[in-house]
A and B are shown apart, each in its own frame.
Chain A
Amino acid sequence: MSEARLRDRREVIREEPAMHASIVRALAEGPLTIPQIAAAIGEPPNEVLLWVMGMRRYRQVVEVPDADDEGFFLYALVQEEE
């Protein structure tokens, strides 16, 4: 059984702007799921979810319409409008 405490949510959320650059780098090659982004940037998936959902809210990433067989959605960068 796991004993790990979650980090304070306010602290995790505060770091979102600082995480944008590495998440954008991870997604530059194509869409990824939350666990895949987490592996790419070396951060815990529960925290990556908060950051990606913040970026989704402010229109920097968007989900690919259907989840994969494992039940994970892929997230992609929103292309800047010309």
Chain B
Amino acid sequence: MKYDALVVGGGIAGMESSLKLADMGYHVLLVEREASVGGRMILLSKVFPTLDCASCISGPKMSSTVNHPNITNLTYSEVEGIERREDGTFRATVRQKAKFVDWAACTGCQDCEVACTVAVPDQFNYDLVPRRAAYIAFPQAVPKKAVIERAGTSPCTDTCPAGIKAHGYVSLIRSGKYEEAFQLVLDATPLVGTLGRACYAPCEDECTRGDLEGTLPIRRLKRFVADRHYDQFAGPGLEVAAPTGYRVAVVGSGPAGLTAAFQLARRGHGVTIFEEAPEPGGFLRYALPEYRLPRDVVAHDIANVTALGVTIVTNTRVEDLAVLKDQGFDAVLIAAGTQRAIRLGVAGEHLSGVMSGLDFLRAVRQGTPPDLSGRRVVVVGGGNVAMDAARTARRLGARETTVAYRRSRDQMPAHHVEAVDAEREGVAFQLLVAPVEVLGDDRGAVSALRCTVMRLGDADASGRRRPEPTSREITLDCDVVIAALGLVPETDAFEGQVDRDAGGELGVDPTTLQSRVPYVFAAGDVVSGASDITRAVGQGRRAAHMIDRWLHGEPLDGFAALDDRVAVVDKTTVLARQQSFTHRESVAVANVFSSAPHDFSEVERPLSESDALAGASRCLDCGVCSECQECVTACPADAIHLDAHDEVVTVDVDTVVVSTGYRLFAADHKPEYGYGVYANVITATQMDRLLAPTRPYNTVLRPSDGKVPERIAYVSCTGSRDTTVDNPLCSKICCMYSIKQNQLIMGALPLADVTTHYMDMRAAGKRYDEFYEQAKAMGANYVKGRVAAIAEKEDGNLILTYEDIENGGVLTDTEYDLVVLAVGVQPNRDAEHLFVNDVLRLDEFHYVDEVAPDLNPGETAIPGVFVAGASSGAKDIVDSILHAGAAVAQAAAHLERSRTGVTREEVMS
């Protein structure tokens, strides 16, 4: 794209520059970082010395800028770099930040803001009031369109293999929207209750709050909303799309199969699940023990699937896929899991009393447990199945239960909590042993397990130290050996129909999950090998998405839930947003363990409502927007799309105008004034907002308690003319804006006393001194002398200590109930980083340097680059507009010279 001029910064100087150039017929690209043009001026109450309303005079300029046919506006965009080319023109790279709102559709109704569940400080009100993650910059924004602040995907959400929006449901719970939280999880999977209990919660390992006092109870929060929903509602409360006429067969009713069936049914497809076992649920029903996952919870979750019209045919083993095709199914999903246990592979395995962990757990859940009372049980293996088997054995009355594992405790693949809980329930661990033989008695029953003692050698490919046999052996006396060495798919029946690897895992494309037979897809552990519920759910979702696209003849892509997430936010950035964090204790785990558990009642206690609220309130809103979807639902124009991405554009221009403005002095750099420590010390920019027609409060209120202030002090020159903060310059505007505010306060609060403590009053120029005199005549007080310190009283009032120069220089204390710091301006050093292959020179105060400020204002050290407004030094509005005029005249001259090829010297000669 090609423009005559690039203007960087859409404040008053940038708008003025753009308008003037555009009026001359040049094509201008205006890039503004925020979501509206207007800069700081539009945030002001009134302007000195005329007391014109800032919005009234700025508003028309803003609309002319946005509507001018020769100006292209890129708001909510940042210039990443400008390269000066050999021929003296420029190439600029501009990042258009994703707005997540389709501005063509957005009507500016604010419904998204009202619905949003995330509150952040409003930068346009200088943090005096909350705004929402979904926001319109300010009421007079031009364009008046919403954006959504997303710093990235939150770590909890980003890490979930099922693509569940963890941050989203946390923020909904915090807002008391429990059913909405349930629905947000349900949108991903029907297994809300199951995941609220049996998920290993990788989100909690990533939670940024874990770097402070500990993670949020993210999983238990999900259980909280699931329990509430199942208590209160009979069904999922979902609508399904109109029937498509397509039929899909799903083989297996575990997490992958159930999730896929649910998602396909929502899209209007006819789904039948074929399940070999007598009841649906896969491992949820037949492996996970009841004390971790009660069967009624699984039943509720499965009812979410059948409520959508999915048929589940049990006691039916599928072996021939072509038969399904012949029965009229358009697509088949194999989600058969890992049904075969890895054998011990040692002598004595045939003895009575040896069983696999899976058979053992299945028998228990089918109501036919082996009799273990008073018996000694050894469980071989160190994974979660081993822990489940050992804890189940304890509940069946085993006298001793020992887990025998060939590596060390910290190398056990079982989830840390599972191993700790097993120990609490009286399970013993025999580490660094590998079985070599099961010994039997003369009746053919197990009597002991002979093991080699191992030691840890060098690290293997996984980085873990490899166990190596020693010459020593031990014998563990026992009556039962449970082998929990791992699970693999049992897919022999599919040999020759779809690809299988040596371990039985089915071969499919990892992104589309499609097999080499186009109508056959596979998902879950049957593809990945034994994993966990969330991974199986993620694959089930993916499979449903791809099957749906395949049925409609669409390309197999676009699975945004997992493949196209916005990049994860960096935790250090999250923690750096705050100066301090209040210690907030993690919600305690109140589970009661018995060293001799005797029944299968659920071990984990639910969160109370107050615990859930307290737990959710600890969330740091890492990604800012939580992806809770409330705005998406609320938006009447269907304008919100949370899967948008930044776009980078490259433009060629002949001249550049830098109008990036100024920064405000950070008042906490003068600690003696107590800003950020005393509630009733505010800055003058905050006061300007309190006085503006679009003010954040109903009137001027003091922040400590909302009282209308009666005695207000101004401290002028805060951060200006002050070498202790490295700023010798006068900020030029502070005296005049203080006088303006003094007058406005007396208008708004007729009973208030206003006193300004000043060093010199600088009111030079037409109507400025008269403006000062007018304030005095209205009753404003002016006391000459610098304020040395401010202290706070118990009631929030403030004692100012100052030198009263006009009364003999005595040190005086005076009490006020609100103090306003007239903060100065500072250079915005962003300008320094705009150019990539040339240096935009700064002056000794770090403002953009003008090479000849007295003769050619606006001209910078780079030919063809001009500076307008406060980027080159403190200026009020009138001066900024004048300066922009000067810069634009220079820019236009440059454009003309470069067109005609005539240099300035040639013109002059």
Contacts and interface: CB of A to CB of B under 8 A. Distances in A.
A14 B705 contact: no
A17 B171 contact: yes
B149 to A, nearest CB: 13
Interface stretch (B111-119, B258-266, B445-453, B872-880): B111-119
A71 B117 contact: no
Q: How large is the interface on A (under 10, 10 to 19, 20 to 34, 35 or more residues)?
A: 35 or more
A48 B619 CA distance: 19
Contacts of A18: 174-175, 613, 616-617
A58 B635 CA distance: 16
Q: Is the interface of B mostly helix, strand, loop or mixed?
A: loop
A71 B707 contact: yes
Nearest to B708: A71
Contact of B130 (A5, A13, A38, A63): A13
A14 B114 CA distance: 15
Given A46-B705, A58-B114, A15 B698 contact: no
Contact of B676 (A2, A6, A54): A6
A67 B677 CA distance: 27
A67 B176 CA distance: 32
Contacts of A81: none
B791 interface: yes
A20 B116 CA distance: 13
Contacts of B699: 73
Interface in B253-287: none
Nearest to B171: A17
Contacts of A16: 119, 130
Contacts of B703: 46, 49
Main secondary structure of the interface of A (DSSP, over half): helix
A67 to B, nearest CB: 5
B899 interface: no
Contact of A50 (B129, B582, B676, B678): B129
Contacts of B127: 9, 13
A27 interface: no
B707 A54 contact: no
B591 to A, nearest CB: 26
A63 B698 contact: yes
Nearest to A15: B617
Contacts of B121: 9-10, 13
Contact of A21 (B132, B176, B678): B176
B708 A53 contact: no
B668 to A, nearest CB: 11
Contact of B791 (A1, A6, A8, A51): A1
A35 B130 contact: no
A76 to B, nearest CB: 12
Contacts of B792: 1-2
Contact of B129 (A8, A46, A57, A72): A57
A17 B707 contact: no
Interface residues of B, number: 50
A54 B578 CA distance: 20
A66 B174 CA distance: 33
Contacts of B120: 10, 13-14
B814 interface: no
Given A8-B581, A34-B705, A20 B129 contact: no
Contacts of B582: 7-8, 11
Contacts of B793: 1-2
B710 interface: yes
A17 B175 contact: yes
A56 B697 CA distance: 8
B679 A6 contact: yes
Interface in A42-75: 45-46, 48-54, 56-59, 63, 67, 70-73
Contact of B706 (A7, A13, A35): A35
B580 interface: yes
A45 B579 CA distance: 21
Given A11-B582, A45-B706, A6 B677 contact: yes
B577 interface: yes
Contact of B117 (A5, A10, A17, A38): A17
B701 A57 contact: no
A21 B616 CA distance: 14
Interface string B772-796: 0000000000000000000111100
Interface in B687-716: 696-699, 701, 703-710
Nearest to A59: B114
B627 interface: no
Interface in B104-149: 113-114, 117-121, 127-132
Contact of B119 (A2, A17, A56): A17
Contacts of A70: 707
Contacts of B117: 17
B621 interface: yes
A70 B701 CA distance: 13
Contacts of A5: 580, 677
Given A7-B580, A34-B705, A35-B706, A20 B175 contact: yes
Given A15-B617, A54-B129, A56-B698, A10 B705 contact: no
Nearest 4 interchain pairs by C-beta: A34-B706, A54-B130, A71-B708, A45-B705
27 contacts: A1-B791, A1-B792, A2-B793, A6-B676, A7-B580, A8-B580, A10-B577, A10-B578, A13-B119, A13-B130, A14-B120, A16-B130, A17-B118, A17-B175, A33-B706, A51-B130, A53-B128, A53-B130, A53-B696, A53-B697, A56-B697, A57-B131, A57-B696, A58-B114, A63-B698, A71-B707, A73-B701
Given A18-B616, A54-B119, 18 more contacts: A6-B676, A7-B582, A15-B119, A16-B119, A17-B175, A20-B176, A34-B706, A45-B704, A46-B703, A49-B701, A52-B706, A53-B696, A54-B130, A57-B696, A67-B708, A71-B707, A72-B707, A73-B698
